[in-house]
Amino acid sequence: MPHLNKLKSTNDFKDIEIIPINIADEEIKNSKIFFQELGLNNLEIFYGSSIELAKKFKLRGIPTTIFIDKEGYEFARGIGFIDFENKVVLDWLANHL
């Protein structure tokens, strides 16, 4: 999450939308506390029913990163940790903006 927060704050990726989705069945206040504790000030929280969201996004594992193009279509998906400070990852992402 801190990597995504930092990514969103850079000029190269300022126009990218990053939407963290909480699929845990907990109160939204816990997510807000988590965001505050980590200093995640460039990201918003999206929250909903874990079962509904898992089905809608066809999640097979968490974390899952879904890449959506400007037209709103998914063009890639990553399951598990992605290092958003890795130059190869950043170059790949920049080529899809």
Decide if 68 contacts 75 (C-beta within 8 A).
yes
Two structure tokens written together for 16 = 């990218």
pLDDT above 80 (res 5): yes
Two structure tokens written together for 47 = 């929250």
Angle, vertex CA 34, rays to CA 24 and CA 54, nearest 5 = 20
Higher pLDDT, 89 or 69: 89
In this prediction, what percent of the chain has a pLDDT beyond 90?
24
Q: Does domain 2-94 have CATH number 3.30.2350.10?
A: no
Q: Tokens 């290092």 belong to which residue?
A: 83
Ordered by start, the domain boundaries in the chain are 2-94
pLDDT tens readout for residues 15-44: 888 888 777 777 788 888 989 999 999 988
3-class secondary-structure state, position 67: strand
Q: What is the pTM of this model?
A: 0.76
